[in-house]
Every structure is written in C-alpha cells, then in structure tokens.
C-alpha cells in the first residue's frame, strides 16, 4: 500500500486483502520477472482513425517524473497521476499523417532519466481497415483451446505459471494449445466451418481453474501454456489461408485476481470494491427492466462474477480506455475477423456503446457478438445495435447470442408435436423477430462451453441432432457449432464444467482413438460428420442462406417448411419432426415455389420434382436448392 492513498480507501484495501486471504485466493506470484517499466499498449500504429492514444505507464514511483519525447506528428496532450504513485497515464495525440517509426519516451526526475521506453509506431497492414467481419455466410466452430489438441507437450508446464497440467482433473489444465489448433486446421476446413471462436487465450496465471481463460492476468500476452503472441499471429494467418476467420473472446467485465494491476491497484475505482465479498446477482434482466430498483441494478453491475475475478469499474475513463485500446490492439496486431464479448450486460452499457463506436470507427465491417444471456426476445434485442426497443440506448454491437432460439431448439426436436410444441416452438420464436434490428445477424447455437451438450439435451437421438443441425444451418442468423458436436460428444453442465469441456479424442499423443481421422471415428460419428460436412460445404456457396430473406409457413402435422430467397437463388427447407413419412402437398407454398420445377436435394444429392407432392421421410430434413 502506498502512502498517497486516503485513509478510507486504506481500510477498504485492508478489507479487500483480508477477503483475498480468507477466500484462499491470495496471490503467490513472485515478482522476480517483473519488468522495471511497463507501457501498455506496448506499441501502436500510424494511421489509425482515432487520433488519441492513452499509455498506461507502470514503474516504481514513476508519478512525479516529467515526460519527454520528440517525434514528428505526436504531441503529449495530458499526463495524469493517480493515487498510486507507481502509475502514470499519458495521452498522446497523433497527426493523421504521422509516419511509422519509433522514439524514446523518457521519464525524468531532478534532470535524471529514471526510465526510458522505446515506443514504436508500426505501419498498418494493407486493407486493415476494410476487413470483413463474420456474417451469416459463415459457420463458427467454438473450441476450448485447453481441451482441443495438445500440439506442444513442452509448454504444458511453464516457469512462473502457477497451475501445472493435470489431465486427470476435469477442472485442471490438460495441455491443449495453439499448436494443437494449427495442426488440425485441415480437419476444420474439411468439415466445412469458416470461422473459429476460440475461448480466451490470454495469460491466466491463477492457481486453479486457469484452463478456461476467463480470469486474465495479462491483457497483452498469450498464456505461455498456449504458445506465444507470435504463435497466435501465425495461427490467424494459417487459418485465413484455409478460408477460416478468427474470432477473439474478450472480457471487459473482470480480470483475474493475480493481474499485476490488481495486485497493486492504480486507484480505488479501477475495480468495484465492497466492504465484504459481493457477488453479482447475475440478473441481467434488471438493466433494461423499467421497474428495477437501484439496489438490484447496482449489485448486478458492481458485484463480482467470482471471488477470483475483480470487477472493473468502467465509469472510470482510464480503465475504459485501457480496455477499448486493448481490443483494437489485438484486432490490428493479429488481423482478427471478429470479437465475442463475454458477459455483455455486466459492464456499464455506456462503455459498451463507446467501444462499439470506436471499433466500427476503425473497422466499419468488423463484427462483434455480445454474449447477452437473456431468454426473452425483447430483453435480448436491447443489446443489439440500433435496437427498436432500447429507448435511446444503442449498444453499437452488431450481433447478439440468440438465447430465445436456443431455448426453442432445446425442446423442438424431441417433443411431441402440438399447437405450441415441437416445430411450433421454432415458429413462435422467429415470428417475434420484428423485435430485433437485424435478426439475420443473431448468433444461433445448440450449445456452447457453458451449456449442456446438445446431444445430451436431445437424449442422444442422432436423427434429432441431424434435424436440428439442418434447421440451424439454414434458418436466419449466424450459426455456431461447439467442438465435438460432430462426434456426438455428450455431457451435462450440472455435473461440472469439465463434463461439457472434454478433450477432443486424438488431440493428445497416445489417445486410444483419433477422431480427427475417419478411421478413428465410429460409424455413427462418421454419419453425423458427413451430414454436417455436406451441409457446411454446400452452405459456403449458398447466397440464399447467406443473404436470403426468410419466409416460413406455420408448421402443420409436424412439418415445418421455410424458404430462403436471395436475388437469383431460392432454397426450400422441409423439417419433418413427426414419426411418419409424409407426402407433402406443395400447393400451399405456391407463392415461394412459383416458376420452379425441380430441386437439388443437398444431403442426398438427388434431383426431385417440386410440383405436386414431395415425399418426406419420417424424422428427417430436406434442403432443396430450387431449379427453374
């Protein structure tokens, strides 16, 4: 603790430390490798749209030094001291025509230079600003890097990292890494996915549960057990060369308790502090609730996610700017195609809006999907850019996680058909899309790393899984598939997260089977893999699914029929959820079928006549590319 902190905050800090000790989360990281001076962002780029740059400077007693540098086109606009004298915040302003190069920033006291940092202004990549984010033309594959493949066993345990690998512990680190992902880009490309969402890869130097990555201890460094920053850059480049986009998982709500700036806080309001440990109420609903009490809203926003996850106070412009710049740094540095933002409703919504504007200002076609875990359409809509419902608030995030459709898909494919059950669930959810500004950009999914494995949800009914996939891959929205779905992986969330985050078989040397190969998969796994592959590979070139409008017909007799129609292309999808084979009369679909005679069925590659009646197998789906 330093002396410049006010007595009240000292008491709070003492309580805070006490809490850390009581909860057993007190840090034991040694300071041996701490650099004398940290500057973040560590470098920047010439030619960014936003002219200002905030540098967080961290060095022993650096406050009170004077700052000196000279570089054509860069001016020092502001120097901000905070209560902790080990920090200094600089605001630089860059001219639009500033040239790439580097310069020494000197920190001087009594005419002596105490610290020097060589700051680099790099040249931007060509086309950097015009990158195309992920869209409905993509299918995203979500994987947990610790659980996918161990491409480099030599990094399983790394010096200075608190948690060691232990594959027998479902909540421990298993050794998966960036090299493992790189090794299997061919598998992913062959399956037909076009984007990867990888759970967080940044350093999580925590004594336990470090594998999932959501308690970051360094915002500028890939965890060495996953690889280096350069390994990540190489992964993005190799993925791009195979037609696969990369989406980074980012967290603005909290970080890990072992983060160096948490161990020595810049100021009291860097994070939310409470006299005793206070958890969020996790009721995201109260942010948009017109009747919400201040007490509930405050607890939601200021409570911590967990006792090892200190909660940022994004009303503080210094931490807000830090996080915004960090995201832009990674987009530019690694050549990212998208961001998945963790826990969208938990940071102050004003910060999210500012962030959305800033990212779009640099990259107009970039995509951010916010994890807004809300089960009702109206409440979810609130978090999407240009929402018609948010009464003056605009998040500026183009995409949101579609939990209402997820909820419908949990039941639709396995229950008995009824007025409101079965296929009608899908219909009723989609019929509410007028509540969204752009439902075609909603992220749609059967499961993810926080949810029951879908195969388990549908009671291991392989045919139901195939129908659900056919639906999800052809309805509106941006589909996301969780790794292992193609292998019929199962697991229940209530038995522990390890159950739903099992290792991909074959990702580790010596695994009894290698499911990355056809020979290593069971006949059932190959059947589902092939089914997905057929749709995914076809989908890559389907303008109707990527951009076409959706027209659907009220489900009848357990059959749901809809069309995706773009300029010159139309696709008809028939989902028969009933246990009987049916002869489907097409007269009812005349408005969408007019002018078409035949269709190419994507899964079986058969040509069928679409006039009159179509034979639809029991419990199956047909995807029909219509032909004149």
Q: Which residues bind Ca ion (CB under 5 A)?
A: 150, 152, 155-156, 175, 177
**Is 155 or 314 the residue whose CB approaches Ca ion more closely?**
155
Q: Annotated catalytic, 68?
A: no
The one-character DSSP state at 416 is P
* Rounded Cα–Cα distance for residues 475 and 551 (Å): 10
* Rounded Cα–Cα distance for residues 280 and 346 (Å): 9
Contact 469, 415 (CB under 8 A): no
Give every strand in the sheet of 66-68, ordered side by side: 44-45, 112-122, 101-109, 66-68
* Rounded Cα–Cα distance for residues 230 and 238 (Å): 12
CB of 532 to Ca ion, least distance (A): 28
CB of 171 to Ca ion, least distance (A): 17
**Is 232 or 413 the residue whose CB approaches Ca ion more closely?**
232
CB of 201 to Ca ion, least distance (A): 12
Q: At what angle do helices 462-472 and 523-539 cross, to 10 degrees?
A: 10
Q: At what angle do helices 349-362 and 317-334 cross, to 10 degrees?
A: 30
Contact 185, 239 (CB under 8 A): yes
**Is 152 or 321 the residue whose CB approaches Ca ion more closely?**
152
Catalytic residue among 249, 332, 342, 625: 342
CB of 227 to Ca ion, least distance (A): 8
- In sequence order, which ranges of 245-342 are alpha helices (DSSP H)? 260-263, 294-302, 317-334
CB of 147 to Ca ion, least distance (A): 11
Please give the torsion angle defined by the CA atoms of residues 8, 10, 11 and 14, in that order, rounded to the nearest 10 degrees. 160
The one-character DSSP state at 493 is G
**Is 156 or 619 the residue whose CB approaches Ca ion more closely?**
156
CB of 155 to Ca ion, least distance (A): 5
Q: Annotated catalytic, 342?
A: yes
Which tokens go with 112? Answer: 């002596």
Give ∠ CA 292-296-299 in degrees, rounded to 5: 145
**Is 226 or 589 the residue whose CB approaches Ca ion more closely?**
226
**Is 133 or 227 the residue whose CB approaches Ca ion more closely?**
227
User: How many residues are listed for the chain in this entry?
Assistant: 628
Preceding omega of 603 cis (within 30 degrees of 0): no
Catalytic residue among 177, 231, 371, 402: 371
Which tokens go with 235? Answer: 């992964």
Which tokens go with 135? Answer: 């869209």
Question: What amino acid positions are annotated as catalytic residues?
Answer: 342, 371
């Amino acid at each position: 603790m330093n002396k410049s902190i006010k007595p009240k905050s000292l008491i709070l800090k003492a309580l805070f430390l006490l809490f850390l000790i009581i909860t057993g989360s007190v840090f034991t990281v040694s300071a041996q490798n701490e650099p004398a001076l940290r500057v973040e962002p560590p470098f920047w780029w010439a030619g960014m749209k936003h002219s200002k740059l905030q540098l967080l400077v961290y060095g022993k007693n650096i406050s009170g030094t004077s700052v000196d540098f000279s570089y054509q086109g860069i001016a020092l606009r502001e120097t901000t001291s905070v209560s902790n004298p080990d920090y200094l915040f600089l605001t630089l302003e860059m001219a639009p025509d500033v040239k790439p190069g580097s310069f020494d920033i000197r920190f001087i006291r009594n005419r002596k230079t105490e610290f020097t940092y060589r700051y680099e202004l790099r040249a931007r990549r060509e086309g950097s600003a015009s990158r195309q984010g992920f869209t409905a033309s993509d299918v995203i594959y979500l994987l947990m890097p610790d659980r996918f493949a161990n491409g480099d066993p030599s990094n399983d345990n790394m010096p200075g990292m608190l948690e060691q690998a232990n594959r027998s512990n479902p909540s421990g680190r298993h050794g998966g890494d960036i090299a493992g992902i790189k090794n299997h880009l061919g598998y992913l490309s062959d399956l037909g996915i076009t984007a990867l969402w990888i759970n967080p890869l940044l350093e999580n130097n925590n004594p336990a549960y470090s594998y999932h990555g959501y308690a970051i201890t360094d915002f500028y460094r890939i965890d060495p057990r996953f690889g280096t920053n350069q390994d990540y850059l190489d992964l993005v480049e190799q993925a791009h060369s195979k037609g696969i986009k990369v989406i980074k998982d980012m967290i603005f709500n909290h970080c890990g308790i072992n983060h160096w700036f948490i161990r020595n806080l810049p100021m009291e309001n860097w994070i939310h502090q409470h006299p005793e440990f206070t958890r969020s109420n996790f009721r995201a609903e109260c942010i948009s609730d017109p009747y919400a009490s201040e007490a509930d809203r405050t607890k939601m926003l200021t409570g911590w996610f967990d006792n090892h996850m200190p909660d940022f106070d994004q009303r503080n412009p210094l931490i807000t700017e830090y996080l915004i710049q960090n995201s832009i740094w990674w987009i530019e540095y690694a050549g990212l195609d998208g961001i998945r933002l963790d826990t969208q409703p938990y940071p102050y919504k004003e910060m999210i809006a500012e962030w959305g504007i800033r990212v779009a200002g640099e990259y107009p076609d970039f995509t951010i999907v916010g994890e807004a875990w809300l089960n009702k359409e109206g409440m979810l809509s609130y978090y999407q850019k240009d929402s018609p419902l948010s009464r003056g608030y605009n998040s500026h995030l183009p995409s949101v996680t579609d939990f209402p459709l997820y909820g419908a898909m949990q039941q639709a494919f396995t229950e008995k058909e009824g007025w409101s059950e079965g296929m009608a669930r899908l219909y009723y959810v989609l019929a509410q899309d007028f509540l969204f500004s752009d439902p075609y950009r909603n992220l749609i999914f059967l499961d993810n790393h926080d949810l029951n494995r879908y195969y388990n949800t549908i009671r291991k009914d392989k045919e139901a899984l195939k129908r659900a996939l056919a639906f999800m891959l052809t309805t509106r929205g941006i589909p996301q598939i969780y790794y292992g779905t193609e292998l019929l992986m199962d697991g229940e969330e209530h038995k522990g997260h390890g159950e739903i985050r099992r290792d991909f078989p074959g990702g580790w040397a010596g695994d009894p089977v290698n499911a990355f190969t056809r020979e290593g998969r069971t006949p059932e796994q190959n059947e589902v893999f092939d089914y997905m592959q057929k749709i995914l590979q076809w989908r890559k070139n389907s303008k109707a699914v990527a951009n076409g409008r959706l027209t659907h017909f009220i489900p009848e007799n357990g059959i749901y029929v809809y069309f995706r129609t773009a300029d010159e292309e139309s696709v008809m999808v028939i989902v028969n959820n009933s246990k009987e084979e049916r002869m489907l009369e097409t007269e009812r679909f005349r408005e969408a079928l007019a002018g078409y005679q035949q269709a190419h069925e994507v899964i079986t590659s058969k040509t069928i006549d679409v006039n009159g009646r179509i034979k639809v197998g029991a419990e199956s789906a047909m995807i029909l590319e219509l032909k004149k």
